[in-house]
Structure 1
Amino acid sequence: MSRRRYELTDREWSIIAPLLPNKPRGIPCVDDRRVLNGILWRFRTGSPWAEVPERYDPPTTCYNRFVRWRKAGVWDRLLAAVSEAYDGDIVMIDSSCVRVHQHAANGKKGDGDDGCMGRSRGGLTSKIHALVDAEGRPVTLRLTAGQIADCTQGEALIEGLGEGDILLADKGYDSDAIRARAKQRKAWANIPPKANRKGTFAFSAWLYRQRNLVERFFNRIKHFRGIATRYDKDPADYLAAVKLVAARIW
Structure 2
Amino acid sequence: MHARADGQGRPLGFILTGGETSDYSAIPALLAMPVGKPRLFLADRGYDADAVREKLLMHGILPVIPPRANRKDPPSCDFRAYRDRNRIERMFNRLKQFRRVATRYDKTRISFEAFLSLAAAKIWLSHVPEPF
| Shorter-chain TM-score tier | 0.7 to 0.9
Distance in structure 2 (CA, Å) of the matches to 1:211 and 1:145: 23
Distance in structure 1 (CA, Å) of the matches to 2:82 and 2:104: 30
Match of 2:43 in 1: 169
Give CA deviations for 1:26-72 in whole Å, capped at 9, x if unaligned: xxxxxxxxxxxxxxxxxxxxxxxxxxxxxxxxxxxxxxxxxxxxxxx
Q: What is the count of residue pairs matched by the alignment?
A: 122
AA of the residue aligned to 1:132 = A
Report the Cα offset of residue 147 of structure 1: 2.6
Report the Cα offset of residue 224 of structure 1: 1.3
3-state SS in 1 of match to 2:16: strand
Question: Quick check: which has more Rg, 1 or 2?
Answer: 1
Give CA deviations for 1:193-224 in whole Å, capped at 9, x if unaligned: 12233545331111111111111111111111
Structure 2: which 5+ runs fail to align? 125-132
Match of 2:107 in 1: 233
Report the Cα offset of residue 174 of structure 1: 0.6
Distance in structure 2 (CA, Å) of the matches to 1:148 and 1:189: 21
The Cα RMSD (Å) is: 1.9
Distance in structure 2 (CA, Å) of the matches to 1:174 and 1:156: 17
Match of 1:150 in 2: 23
Query: Aligned match of 2:118 in 244, 247, 250?
Result: 244
- Structure 2 vs 1, CA of residues 147 and 200 (structure 1 numbering), >3 Å: closer, same or farther? closer
Match of 2:78 in 1: 204
Report the Cα offset of residue 246 of structure 1: 0.7
3-state SS in 1 of match to 2:22: coil
Structure 1: which 5+ runs fail to align? 1-127
What is the identity percentage for the equivalent residue pairs of Structure 1 and Structure 2?
43
Distance in structure 1 (CA, Å) of the matches to 2:28 and 2:68: 18
Q: Compute the TM-score of the two structures, normalised by the length of structure 1.
A: 0.45
Match of 2:129 in 1: none
Query: Aligned match of 1:159 in 5, 14, 32?
Result: 32
More strand by proportion, 1 or 2? 1
Report the Cα offset of residue 140 of structure 1: 2.0
* Residues 130, 157 of structure 1: 8 Å contact kept: yes
Report the Cα offset of residue 177 of structure 1: 2.8
- Over 6 Å off, 4+ runs: none
